[in-house]
Structure 1
Amino acid sequence: MFDFDRLWTPWRQVRKAFALLHLRKSYDLFHFYYGESLLARHRDLPMLKRAGKRIVFHFRGCDIRMRGLELARRATCACKDCPALCSSDPEKESLRDLARRLADRTLVATPDLLEWVPEADLVTQAIELGALPELPPPAVKKDRYVILHAPSDPLIKGTRYLRTAIAHLRSRGYAVDFRLVSGRPHSEVRQAIAEADIVVDQLLVGWYGNFAIEAMASSRPVVAYIRDDLARRAGFSPPILSATPDSIERVLEELVANDRVRAGLARAGRPFVSRIHDAGRIASQLLDCYRSIVG
């Protein structure tokens, strides 16, 4: 059996090492995402620090979220149904300690991650709003309502709870169609959003993801689990109807029946995305961060 990984990984590391030599001469600041850096086991970070370079770490989710503590703290959480991802909790603790020791600034993409790195700054997910055409909101009155869900990982997103809720609603006579889109090109996801009446994002994390941002930018009412404490920590409340695995059936039932609430969520979505997630605003925030470090 040919072991591709054993052949490929060392050569890739060699290429990265040569790239590091070039990059170290060309740049003053290095911004690393998702707990990664240029070399395996972050061997490049001490080298960069010795060379006087500035380092930014930007955590995005399971790269720093610690499963054991998450499960111990709350019943509804991102780790409820999924196995450990990315690395073990001790490895994540080591990564956090490394960032505290070597990074000039630590950032997180969502407020729940501040539980693991409270010293970090929140820099939210960015979206090219201009690349998303403004769509009219869904029709208020319809014979059937299309509920869309597009999980990147069904276990983390709580997909099975949504499936059960949809099945119960149908058995009780509600005219709802469930569309699940996964592993498809972005263009297909965009088209599915345009055809949806209600979009359901994640039901376990306690905050919303990129899919919800695109749906709000497209004037679609969005459902996701939003923890009140995270909204306070973030300093803003998204126009999203909150639902947990226990309440998702009831929330969808009320949303299908309430034209006014659906219309209000649809209207509020795009202005919110423009204010909080527009790529130009996030770029300005990052530039301010870089300038504060480099001087």
Structure 2
Amino acid sequence: MKVMLGTVEVAGFVAGLTSGLRSIGVSAESYLSASHPFGYDGVDDKQPVVVRIWRSLGSFRAKNASMPLPLKGVVWGLQFLLSWLVLFYSVFIFDAYIFVYGKTITNTRFELFLLRSMNKKIIFVYLGSDCRPPYLSGGSISGVPSSQAAARAVHASKKVSKKVWFQERKADYVVNAPGTGQFHRRDFVNWFSMGVPVSRTNHTMATDVAQTDRAVRILHSPSKPLIKGSDEIRAVVSRLQKKGYLIDFIELKGVPNSKVREELARCDFVIDQLYSDSPMAFFATEAAHFGKPTVVAGYFSECASDYIASDDMPPSVYVMPDKLEEAVANLIDDHKYRTELGLAARDFIHSRWDNRLVAQRYLRLLNGDVPASWLCSAKELSYVHGCGVDQDQIVLVGRYIVDHFGWPAFRLEGKSELKQQLAKLLNQPASPDA
């Protein structure tokens, strides 16, 4: 079986899974529409010329986002035309496609019709904001007035929900986290049953030495500070410093992944984000390589064990947002616990998320061998507290949507449990026809 993975790289996921598939004897290639700005991807320079030009045009667009509109249109048009050549080339090479972040080669419906007509295996792997309802996503509603955020979220929800519904119909399987699967109409594969494909080879272990007279080194590396809650994280650290805690706080933004790894090797632990719907997202996973524990907050922490099997639960300090300061203080105070948690995180990713093991699970998907324990019921989801945004903002935006657009704007047809939970959160009666 020959497998294509793409077309965007997210925190090394595509590179890790490609490597894992190759390690178990599967012929796998990653076709990316642009190189990753932080250097995560490791694409093969021996790929066909059309694929390399297609990727180069995408990289040029990303690096020159402020180019004049006519030039931007020309570059986009050229890349779009090349995407069809890449697609038609690929169908003669590959038997299966693993699409990440909801992106395909041409990003058209015809592409999926074509692949299905040719009996190609298709898997979609969603990673968060690509499928999460926009009215529950900080990337859509944080930092703007509720009226503007609501209008934006309603428009985006229609687009995202239609994409998810179409892709899940055309795919053999879709992989998603239970905290972001609200738009699914069909059961999907639990992201935590599959894992993050990580490699042991590119990281070295650094030990946390117990010294009571030195500052504890804490690392925070937000890709998007607003939705990661960086302001509150800084405030938490500042309050602890005023209480007498010795803290050396390091914040990295917009730096290459190599720089992040250097700081991970030097830190004592990591603070990931304030409103996460995962106990161990990509940054926390990378910290685990180095045996460094992560503090992460999010509303999903209250119900994570309802959706994630105990064997699949990644070790981290996962708490409600209002408990972040207490969690950070405890980790500073308890060196032994800090060390043990870091080692447990490292052991977990090596024993559960090693790229070879994750690749074996994806191969089972491609072969149609899927245990029932891997599946999430789309109808039984009830999490509505979002990611990357304070709950108060979700309530404000949600109430505005109810008042000005009506319940159908939430795009939760057939999801009685989700509608009930959302109505409870908004303190609004749910419309029976919503």
For the pair 1:166 / 2:166, whether they are aligned, the reply is no
Q: Percent identity?
A: 23
CA deviations 1:25-77 (Å, max 9, x no partner) are: 22222211111111133331112222222221111110000022x37xxxxx7
For the pair 1:19 / 2:86, whether they are aligned, the reply is yes
- Select 2:350's aligned residue among 271, 274, 279: 274
For the pair 1:210 / 2:282, whether they are aligned, the reply is yes
- Asked whether the equivalents of residues 157 and 204 of structure 1 are also in contact (C-alpha less than 8 Å), the reply is yes
Q: What is the aligned length?
A: 285
TM-score (norm 1): 0.88
- 1:18-57 to structure 2, matched below 5 A, reads 18-57=85-124
- Asked whether the equivalents of residues 135 and 194 of structure 1 are also in contact (C-alpha less than 8 Å), the reply is yes
Residue equivalent to 1:74: none
Matched AA of 1:192: E
Q: In the superposition, relative to structure 1, how do residues 136 and 209 fare at CA in structure 2: closer, same or farther (>3 Å)?
A: same
Residue equivalent to 2:9: none
- Asked whether the equivalents of residues 100 and 124 of structure 2 are also in contact (C-alpha less than 8 Å), the reply is yes
- Asked whether the equivalents of residues 148 and 196 of structure 1 are also in contact (C-alpha less than 8 Å), the reply is yes
- Asked whether the equivalents of residues 293 and 338 of structure 2 are also in contact (C-alpha less than 8 Å), the reply is yes
Deviation at 1:93, TM superposition (A): 0.5
Matched AA of 1:241: V
**What is the root-mean-square deviation of aligned Cα atoms in Å?**
2.3
Aligned-partner Cα distance in 1 for 2:250–2:212: 19
Residue equivalent to 1:264: 340
- 1:1-295 to structure 2, matched below 5 A, reads 1=68, 3-68=70-135, 70=136, 81=142, 88-108=156-176, 110-117=177-184, 119-121=187-189, 122=191, 123-139=194-210, 141-207=212-278, 208-225=280-297, 227-235=301-309, 236-292=312-368
SS of 1:183's equivalent in the other structure is coil
Q: In the superposition, relative to structure 1, how do residues 186 and 275 fare at CA in structure 2: closer, same or farther (>3 Å)?
A: same
Deviation at 1:138, TM superposition (A): 4.0
SS of 2:162's equivalent in the other structure is helix
- Asked whether the equivalents of residues 197 and 354 of structure 2 are also in contact (C-alpha less than 8 Å), the reply is yes
Q: In the superposition, relative to structure 1, how do residues 52 and 242 fare at CA in structure 2: closer, same or farther (>3 Å)?
A: closer
Q: In the superposition, relative to structure 1, how do residues 141 and 273 fare at CA in structure 2: closer, same or farther (>3 Å)?
A: farther
TM-score (norm 2): 0.61
Aligned-partner Cα distance in 1 for 2:183–2:315: 26
- Asked whether the equivalents of residues 131 and 181 of structure 2 are also in contact (C-alpha less than 8 Å), the reply is no
CA deviations 1:14-35 (Å, max 9, x no partner) are: 1111111111122222211111
- Asked whether the equivalents of residues 138 and 196 of structure 1 are also in contact (C-alpha less than 8 Å), the reply is no
Matched AA of 2:296: A
Deviation at 1:280, TM superposition (A): 0.9
- Asked whether the equivalents of residues 128 and 180 of structure 2 are also in contact (C-alpha less than 8 Å), the reply is yes
- Asked whether the equivalents of residues 158 and 203 of structure 1 are also in contact (C-alpha less than 8 Å), the reply is yes
Q: In the superposition, relative to structure 1, how do residues 244 and 142 fare at CA in structure 2: closer, same or farther (>3 Å)?
A: farther
Deviation at 1:168, TM superposition (A): 1.0
Deviation at 1:96, TM superposition (A): 1.2
Matched AA of 1:65: R
Deviation at 1:137, TM superposition (A): 3.4
Aligned-partner Cα distance in 1 for 2:343–2:122: 40
Residue equivalent to 2:12: none
Aligned-partner Cα distance in 1 for 2:318–2:115: 43
Q: In the superposition, relative to structure 1, how do residues 80 and 159 fare at CA in structure 2: closer, same or farther (>3 Å)?
A: farther
